[in-house]
Structure 1
Amino acid sequence: MPYTPHTKDEIELMLQTIGIKSEEELFSSVPSNLRVDSLDIEDGLDEYTTFEKFKALASKNVTDKTIFLGGGYYDHIVPSAVDALSSRAEFYTAYTPYQAEASQGTLQVLYEYQSLVCKLTGMDVSNASMYDGATALAEAALMAVRISKKNKILIDAGVNPTYIKVVQTYLSFREIEVEIVDLKGDISDFETIESKIDDSVAGYLFQNPNFLGSIASFEKIIEKLHEKGALAVSSVYAVSLGVLKEPSSMGVDIVTADGQCLGNYLSFGGPSFGLIATKQEYIRDLPGRIIGKTVDRDGKEMFVLTMQAREQHIRRHRATSNICSNQNLLALRSTIYLSLLGKEGFVELANSCHSKSEYLKENLSKIKGVEIFNSSTTFSEFVIKTPCDASDILEAMSSRGIYAGINLGNLFEGFENAILVSVTEKRTKEQMDNYVENLIEVLGGEA
């Protein structure tokens, strides 16, 4: 954004225009005991000095390490065209995409976004994006409760632990019972899950591939859910849909995902956006806003905001969601990204992530003392168990320029020697070989 400070003369003119003598008078309505007497702020800097200061601050960020981190956020290639098009002034504007005054161009892009999400998931309808993957899953849980008119949610322990916490927080204020079903090794405990599906269950939330990277088939569980009038809610890694079966073909009722992996950077933690899609019959329970296509009185094609069932548009108690933000710009980026890749390119991307992951997994399994924890097929993430504490290994690898994975001991009991490793199309053979060579040295030099 442009750096546009006000000069003293401009400030004086503004004060004269509104009829006051000082800036302090602007805050006269604030009680004196709540005001700050003075702010210790340095004098303003010239443009060049400001840039230099920001460059010095930015240089403290570590950006030159090879990333094998995943767990919900992934280091993918972002085509330059995504930056160029999404940065155009027509899109990169103020906070108006919520409102009826949103431009036809913005509305059309969001309509295309919805269409792409439906193609990706196989579902009938999508909204115009959510805040992030975690809140999208929480909103899906609320959908399941509204639709089924029941108040118990089962959550598979294979769901991202951060997502689980967000779902628990959301539902704790609604007197909705939440039960987490533990994994059996690296995959869902289907026998236990099936035993817990009864007439009180509104929905079952699961992740495929799960947080540990393992892939499973959920068709039988989904059949049991539907027999009991409950909904199947799946959280997915969007890129994996380039090779895995569409959630709709398994009978899933609501699909959610985080959209960071679709043309958005890691950005040191955010922002991201969430996607959510469902069956046509549940469209009126879908939170957020939906973009529709129609014609005006002259018969010309046009796009409109429709079914805005949020508290900003209808009475609060009737709203399907009170979340007051989506991520329009990042959803736009994903639309450009998916359009650039096309169907064949997206499949190629997914295959690249999978094949490179298998290459690294195979080579890591050959290292003395290293075991692959996953018993099931994986897509692009997997867990390695090491002969010593994962925190020590990761620290040593980081000092060698490699972010080697996520320490699962920080998230789960009994996983102190386990590391979640992620591979994307961005990783080269040389980088993966370097990972293996350095891990051998860190573990004592024996392959």
Structure 2
Amino acid sequence: MNHPYLPLTDANRAEMLKQIGVESIEKLLTEIPDNIRLKRPLNLQQSMTEPELSNYMINKAAANHPVQLSFLGAGAYQHYIPAVIDHLANRSEFYTSYTPYQPEISQGMLQAIFEYQTFISELFGLPIANASLYDGPSALAEAVLMAVKEVKSQRVLIPENISPNLLTVIKTYTRHLNLTIETIPSSHGLIDSIALAEQLKPGAAAVVLQSPNFYGLVENIAELIPLVKHSAAIPICYVHPLTLSVLEAPGNLGAEIVVAEGQPLGLPLAYGGPYLGLMATSERFIRRIPGRLVGETVDHHGKRAFVLTLQTREQHIRREKATSNICSNQALCALRAAIYLSVLGPLGLKEIAQRAFDNAHYLFDQLKAIGFKPLFDSPFFMEFAIQTPKPASFYIEQLLSKGILAGLDLAPHRPDMENALLICATEVFSKEALDQLIEEMRRIV
């Protein structure tokens, strides 16, 4: 039973069995009923040597279709990651750290998380930010739970132009809570404020506002937030963090909970994770915010120090009293976001947002000029939807053969949008790359 990655020898095992008075490992399994025990070896192929395994994986990878240019967005975005982020985040004292429960030996990580919280608080315009959550969708679901507990209403309003992934996660989190989730209709791709005002009359716990929304359109949250607050419901904003370098922070406009996916802040796409849930709230929710909070204090020498504070997770108090039973913090991902924000600063963030905005609008104008009609005429940031003469899947398949992923086919997410393609262009694209997509689309229009 020797194995290159398991240090125990047969002699070691025999010694341990002798110590506990058991003849064999088989004797330790007698409590498992015989009728459910496997009577044959596992159906696994023969083990490989390390070179054999390496060659096997190389051959598997070669079967992938290489994508040279990807204009896919819809919640996960291709942004440039400065080299310094990997250099610092890969230091062993960071990437081996978990929750810093012992502050006397964890001041470095605690300070890093404290700085991260400070960045998110400033970016979102709210005084309280936690030490992060799993990802943006789970952060939004936690925000809904916070609002429901605070207002003690079972009614939540969610716009029809929200990302389907966000809606799915909210429904998964709340499916056993007897909540009523009502859909806010949209007009020209944006939330219909008149319809929303009518829906708010009976009262609600919360209203979710995603901006930019699923179609990349920028909502008028300066108008929507006061409308929601007037009804005593809690406005929850789900944002793209980079937009806040050029748009007013939702907290400054009256939002009480702001959440986001932190992947654009220095995290690679990485086949879907790990990502980072950003959350900031007003002081009203300081006892309800899930996850961990790092606070600043002084040690017995009077020096500045950092500790975990207001710990209301299930690991620290009675489970039924916990604010959340399934939340954690993504310490390493939060560290990467903190490095990203500190390296770029306000001006750097604004430059990246402006370049993404310019790229997307250049692409939009050029596609429009060659015959593709916009699905909506409302303002957008770096993502937009166009109407296609044929099903969007046709264009995606045609361009994929050229190494270009043209965008997201909206049909699987919105059955009434079979001929609609959602396209994203971030700051990473050169004009030559954008022109390459334009020329390929011109060829098959």
Closer, same or farther in 2 for the Cα pair 1:385/1:303, shift >3 Å?
same
Q: Which is worse superposed, 398-407 or 83-92?
A: 83-92
Maintained 8 Å contact 1:194/1:221: no
TM-score (norm 1): 0.93
Residue equivalent to 2:9: 10
1:391 aligns with 2:358: no
CA deviation after TM superposition for structure 1 residue 63, in Å = 4.6
Cα distance in structure 2, aligned partners of 1:224 and 1:268: 39
SS at the partner of 2:259?
strand
Alignment of 1:1-400 (within 5 A): 5-6=5-6, 10-19=9-18, 22-25=24-27, 27-37=29-39, 38-93=41-96, 96-97=98-99, 99-100=101-102, 103-368=106-371, 370-400=372-402
- CA RMSD for the aligned pairs? 2.0
Return the letter of the residue paired with 1:196.
Answer: Q
Q: Which is worse superposed, 9-18 or 310-319?
A: 9-18
Closer, same or farther in 2 for the Cα pair 1:36/1:303, shift >3 Å?
farther
TM-superposition CA deviations, 1:406-437 (whole Å, max 9, x none) = 00111012110001100111111111100010
TM-superposition CA deviations, 1:343-383 (whole Å, max 9, x none) = 21111111111011111111010112x10122111100000
Maintained 8 Å contact 1:371/1:386: yes
CA deviation after TM superposition for structure 1 residue 396, in Å = 0.8
Maintained 8 Å contact 1:262/1:338: yes
Return the letter of the residue paired with 1:193.
Answer: L
Maintained 8 Å contact 2:66/2:403: no
CA deviation after TM superposition for structure 1 residue 42, in Å = 4.5
Cα distance in structure 2, aligned partners of 1:65 and 1:23: 53
Q: Which structure 2 residue ranges, 5 or more long, are not aligned?
A: none
SS at the partner of 2:357?
helix
Q: Which is worse superposed, 26-35 or 109-118?
A: 26-35
Cα distance in structure 1, aligned partners of 2:305 and 2:10: 44
Cα distance in structure 2, aligned partners of 1:273 and 1:15: 46
SS at the partner of 1:91?
helix
Closer, same or farther in 2 for the Cα pair 1:219/1:11, shift >3 Å?
farther
Closer, same or farther in 2 for the Cα pair 1:57/1:82, shift >3 Å?
farther
Closer, same or farther in 2 for the Cα pair 1:226/1:425, shift >3 Å?
same
CA deviation after TM superposition for structure 1 residue 22, in Å = 4.8
Return the letter of the residue paired with 2:120.
Answer: V
CA deviation after TM superposition for structure 1 residue 207, in Å = 0.5
Q: Which is worse superposed, 24-33 or 350-359?
A: 24-33
Q: Which is worse superposed, 23-32 or 157-166?
A: 23-32
Maintained 8 Å contact 1:242/1:349: no
Residue equivalent to 2:423: 421
Cα distance in structure 2, aligned partners of 1:63 and 1:399: 9
Q: Which is worse superposed, 163-172 or 133-142?
A: 163-172
Closer, same or farther in 2 for the Cα pair 1:284/1:439, shift >3 Å?
same
SS at the partner of 2:93?
coil
Cα distance in structure 1, aligned partners of 2:136 and 2:58: 32
Closer, same or farther in 2 for the Cα pair 1:26/1:337, shift >3 Å?
farther
TM-superposition CA deviations, 1:118-167 (whole Å, max 9, x none) = 12111111110111111111111111112222221101122211101111
Residue equivalent to 2:410: 408
SS at the partner of 1:90?
helix
Cα distance in structure 2, aligned partners of 1:300 and 1:11: 53
Cα distance in structure 1, aligned partners of 2:195 and 2:143: 23
TM-superposition CA deviations, 1:285-341 (whole Å, max 9, x none) = 111111111111121222111122122211122111111433222111111111211
Q: When the two structures are aligned, how many residues end up with a matched partner?
A: 438
TM-superposition CA deviations, 1:3-27 (whole Å, max 9, x none) = 96126x6354244235356554554
SS at the partner of 2:201?
coil
Return the letter of the residue paired with 2:214.
Answer: F
Maintained 8 Å contact 1:294/1:304: yes
Cα distance in structure 2, aligned partners of 1:61 and 1:307: 48
Q: Which structure 1 residue ranges, 5 or more long, are not aligned?
A: none
Maintained 8 Å contact 2:189/2:378: yes
SS at the partner of 1:308?
coil
Q: Which is worse superposed, 58-67 or 252-261?
A: 58-67
Closer, same or farther in 2 for the Cα pair 1:347/1:18, shift >3 Å?
farther
Q: Which is worse superposed, 429-438 or 32-41?
A: 32-41
Maintained 8 Å contact 2:17/2:23: no
Return the letter of the residue paired with 1:10.
Answer: T
Closer, same or farther in 2 for the Cα pair 1:432/1:27, shift >3 Å?
farther
CA deviation after TM superposition for structure 1 residue 85, in Å = 1.6
Closer, same or farther in 2 for the Cα pair 1:83/1:4, shift >3 Å?
farther
Maintained 8 Å contact 1:15/1:23: no
Cα distance in structure 1, aligned partners of 2:189 and 2:441: 23
Cα distance in structure 2, aligned partners of 1:4 and 1:238: 46
Cα distance in structure 1, aligned partners of 2:369 and 2:4: 58
Maintained 8 Å contact 2:217/2:384: yes
Return the letter of the residue paired with 2:257.
Answer: I
Closer, same or farther in 2 for the Cα pair 1:15/1:57, shift >3 Å?
farther
Cα distance in structure 2, aligned partners of 1:26 and 1:15: 13
CA deviation after TM superposition for structure 1 residue 199, in Å = 4.8
Runs of at least 4 residues off by over 6 Å: none
TM-superposition CA deviations, 1:148-196 (whole Å, max 9, x none) = 2222110112221110111122222112211011211211111100111
Cα distance in structure 1, aligned partners of 2:5 and 2:25: 15
Q: Which is worse superposed, 133-142 or 15-24?
A: 15-24
Residue equivalent to 1:430: 432
Maintained 8 Å contact 1:130/1:326: yes
TM-superposition CA deviations, 1:46-66 (whole Å, max 9, x none) = 333333333333434445431
